[in-house]
Amino acid sequence: MVVTTERHGKTGLIVVDNPPVNALSQAVRSGILEAVQTLDADPEIDVIALLAEGRTFIAGADIREFSAPPSEPLLPAVAAAIVGSATPVVCVIHGTALGGGFEMALASHARVALAGAKVGLPETTLGIIPGAGGTQRAPRLAGIVATADLVISGKPISAGEALKKGLVDRVVEGTPREAALAAAEAVRDGSLATRRTDALPPAEPAPDEIAGWRAELAARPGTFALEQAVSALEASSGPIEDGLATERLLFETCRASPERAARVHIFFAEREASKVPELKRAEPRPIARVGVIGGGTMGAGIAAACLLSGYDVTMVERDDEGAARGRATVEGVLDGSVKRGRLSADKRANMAFSAGSDFADLADCDLVIEAAFEDMAVKKELFGRLGEVARADAVLATNTSYLDVDEIAAASGRAGDVVGLHFFSPAYVMKLLEVVVGEKTAPDVVATAFTVAKRLGKIAVWSGVGDGFIGNRIFLAYRRTADIMMEDGASPYDIDRALVAWGLPMGPYQAADFAGQDIGWATRKRRAATRDPNERYVAIADKVCERGWFGRKTGRGFYLYPEGAKSGVPDPEVLALIEEERRAKGIVPRNFTDEEIVNRILCTMVNEGARAVDAGVARQASDVDVVMVNGYGFPRFRGGPMKAADIAGLPGILDDLKRFAADDATAFAPARLIEECVAAGRPLV
Ligand code: 3HC
């Protein structure tokens, strides 16, 4: 029984109990509908309260049901039954009342929230819009602009904020059941007013704001659901029946869209990524004190992330000067968090953080994360020392982004304790963490890594050892394809523009200029010795670097950055340099359409992602999507490269791969996984 009714004197309780988050599955919908009808028909009952068991009130529609045809009763009918109940219905919110859950509250005749509860309409983050009256009833209570804040950002607000906006009527203490019984009494004695949201006047029109949102949304890709949401909100200033009908129509349009499929996919993929077998097989080691080797951007970022999540941190640098610099960077991050209200001054003052140059300080750490210079010799030397200094039960992690974790692990003399923790910069902001599992990494070390990641608020993805793990492996392949297109005739500006229009936040050359090209150049020089001499190599970026044009920080890179300019402008000298390279190699430039640019890049990413799965570096294709969306800015509304390929049609992608492979097998010779999926008629994810 996912929905039960209880009678407490004249109060009828409707209790939803559908763990883990009380999602509105078909059984819950029909249970609530039936319960409202039964209690409303009961002459002994004069107030009904809707509440939920467990950690949260209803967190929304059951997202798993979205890809199947809708089954009765639909959510709007449940909301209509609540609104239409002659017996007043009070909704009691705890945890997070999201989407359809909050819509059940909006349909109720009064809303009581427990302190600490949150409410929100996050549907657009899943590529849909509120579909059970959220865009019509919330504006009647709080206005179009306040509702748009919820719907467009998708972010929940606190019970206190919801009270201020008129979206809840009361914030109370206690358990949901206590609050429900007290609220029923308050309705009875008249101290808690009840009203039918649908009987309130339509929302005040907001034509200027609506025009503003439309203009802003039209300028960026991936906003289909948001645009429909704005139209639905606009309808809230008309009669309720019309508004509800418009909302439903727009909801159904969104439900059938590729954006919905992509966004729901990535929602579940992110949760799947952390379900690694090691967590079932082994107990994580307890971690309280984290050691960080290196106080540069990465080390300091990792230290800050750990401190912000409640770990004690010991940072060790080569010398006192480095330690002082590292300490200052960490403190800057912490001060910024206090300023932004994300960290209380009290917590800040009580953090246990030390920075010094004595390696022996790492001896009492439960986990040590090495974030030193990206050089195998340096790392091996450090792990050699770490193997001796660290406690026998400590976990030893390297933040390398490319190097062989097995080789680093061997240097420690205790490879079972070693794991890769590949953070992304800035480490206290970026959600992704690649957990690189070496050949000898012990299962409890992997379990520890995933447990720490969770506490850090990261989305952790299991990766095997392989050049660049999952993300950088794909990034390298993608950049190589872009470079080849550049040499063959597309300008860097064409490539960036096409990819940004497709949804990437930056193209590869904007990204290189932004990050500073010297870093990539140093990596390329390091890798030159091991490069396959028969493989095509494009040296244009090296030529740009040779001139000292490293990007934004030097005023020019692939782009020029004139004083005060917000973004780079094309540089004729870079175009001339590219022309020169083409001439030297005897390449006659050809035209690339935006479509071909995007297609070659997507094919490269999908193929390399599939190769990572073939090689056992990625556990599953959906993990590739999680990495690319959370670490590399791949558009969430496309679901990641693997899902984008499924949506585009995998057989077509395979045909393109075979065609492109004729002149570039390195990038395009099809991965086994793609061939197998097409042969079996199944998608990649
Ligand atoms: N439907 C189905 N399953 C859901 C779900 C939902 N709405 N929300 C969460 N789950 C599942 C998760 O997949 C996960 O399952 P798993 O344990 O098998 O992996 C489990 O519930 C727990 O979820 P989390 O790991 O995310 O738990 P947290 O405690 O970290 O977060 C949460 C809880 C804040 C509720 C978060 O799960 C969340 O944001 N959920 C989505 C909420 C949402 O978007 N609601 C709107 C849905 S659309 C809608 O309502 C349409 C309507 O307008 C018609």
Does the beta carbon of 75 lie inside 6 Å of ligand 1? yes
The pLDDT, as a whole number, for residue 400 is: 94
The pLDDT, as a whole number, for residue 530 is: 86
255-262 average pLDDT score: 96
pLDDT digits (tens, 9 = 90+) for 268-314: 999 999 999 999 999 999 999 999 999 999 999 999 999 999 999 99
Q: Say whether the peptide bond before residue 570 is cis (omega within 30 degrees of 0).
A: no
CATH assignment, 3-256: 3.90.226.10
The pLDDT, as a whole number, for residue 87 is: 98
| Contact indicator for 487, 477 with CB cutoff of 8 Å | no
| Complex ipTM | 0.98
Ligand 1 pocket test: pick from 2, 63, 66 the residue with the most ligand atoms within 8 Å of its Cβ.
63
Helices 224-234 and 144-153 meet at what angle, rounded to 10?
160
pLDDT digits (tens, 9 = 90+) for 637-670: 999 999 999 999 999 999 999 999 999 999 999 9
In DSSP notation, 427-486 reads TTT--EEEEEE-TT--HHHHHHHHHHHHHTT-EEEEEESSTTTTHHHHHHHHHHHHHHHH
Which neighbouring-strand residues pair with 354?
A: 314
507-533 average pLDDT score: 89
Amino acid identity of residue 383, one-letter, is F
Output the CA 203–ligand 1 centroid distance in Å: 30
Q: Residue 271 CA: which ligand 1 atom is closest?
A: 19
Q: Please determine, for residue 527, whether its predicted confidence score (pLDDT) is greater than 90.
A: no
Q: Which residues contact 95 (CB under 8 A, 6 or more apart)?
A: 52, 54, 55, 56, 57, 59, 117, 118
Does the beta carbon of 681 lie inside 6 Å of ligand 1? no
CATH assignment, 287-463: 3.40.50.720
Output the CA 51–ligand 1 centroid distance in Å: 18
Does the beta carbon of 122 lie inside 6 Å of ligand 1? yes
Q: Residue 268 CA: which ligand 1 atom is closest?
A: 13
The pLDDT, as a whole number, for residue 55 is: 96
Q: Report d(CA 526, CA 647) in Å as an integer.
A: 38
Does the beta carbon of 132 lie inside 6 Å of ligand 1? yes
In DSSP notation, 273-303 reads HT--HHHHHSPPPP--EEEEE--SHHHHHHH
Residue ranges, CATH 3.40.50.720, the chain:
287-463
Does the beta carbon of 103 lie inside 6 Å of ligand 1? yes
Does the beta carbon of 23 lie inside 6 Å of ligand 1? yes
Output the CA 172–ligand 1 centroid distance in Å: 25
- Smallest CA separation from ligand 1 atom 44, residue: 122
CA dihedral 369, 619, 266, 469 (to 10 degrees): 50
The pLDDT, as a whole number, for residue 338 is: 95
Q: Please determine, for residue 68, whether its predicted confidence score (pLDDT) is greater than 90.
A: no
Q: Report d(CA 442, CA 282) in Å as an integer.
A: 9
| % residues pLDDT > 70 (the chain) | 100
Structure tokens at 117: 């509860």
Q: Would you state the CATH architecture of domain 471-680?
A: Orthogonal Bundle (1.10)
The pLDDT, as a whole number, for residue 38 is: 98
Structure tokens at 618: 């990625």
Q: Residue 62 CA: which ligand 1 atom is closest?
A: 1
- Smallest CA separation from ligand 1 atom 1, residue: 62
Q: How high is the mean pLDDT of the chain?
A: 97
- Smallest CA separation from ligand 1 atom 29, residue: 21
Q: Please determine, for residue 533, whether its predicted confidence score (pLDDT) is greater than 90.
A: no
Enzyme catalytic residues: 103, 123
Q: Which residues contact 371 (CB under 8 A, 6 or more apart)?
A: 292, 293, 294, 296, 298, 299, 302, 399, 423
Q: Report d(CA 94, CA 162) in Å as an integer.
A: 13
Output the CA 651–ligand 1 centroid distance in Å: 32
Does the beta carbon of 326 lie inside 6 Å of ligand 1? no
Q: Report d(CA 113, CA 97) in Å as an integer.
A: 9
382-391, 511-520, 524-533, 620-629: segment of lowest average pLDDT? 524-533
Q: Report d(CA 593, CA 591) in Å as an integer.
A: 7
Alpha carbon distances (Å) from 103 to 135, 138, 426: 9, 8, 37
How sure is the predictor about 522, in pLDDT bands with cuts at 50, 70 and 90? confident
246-258 average pLDDT score: 97
Q: Which residues contact 24 (CB under 8 A, 6 or more apart)?
A: 58, 60, 61, 62, 75, 78, 100, 101, 104
Does the beta carbon of 601 lie inside 6 Å of ligand 1? no
Looking at residue 638, the DSSP 8-state letter turns out to be G
Residue ranges, CATH 3.90.226.10, the chain:
3-256
The pLDDT, as a whole number, for residue 526 is: 83
Q: Report d(CA 647, CA 515) in Å as an integer.
A: 31
- Smallest CA separation from ligand 1 atom 28, residue: 21
Does the beta carbon of 154 lie inside 6 Å of ligand 1? no
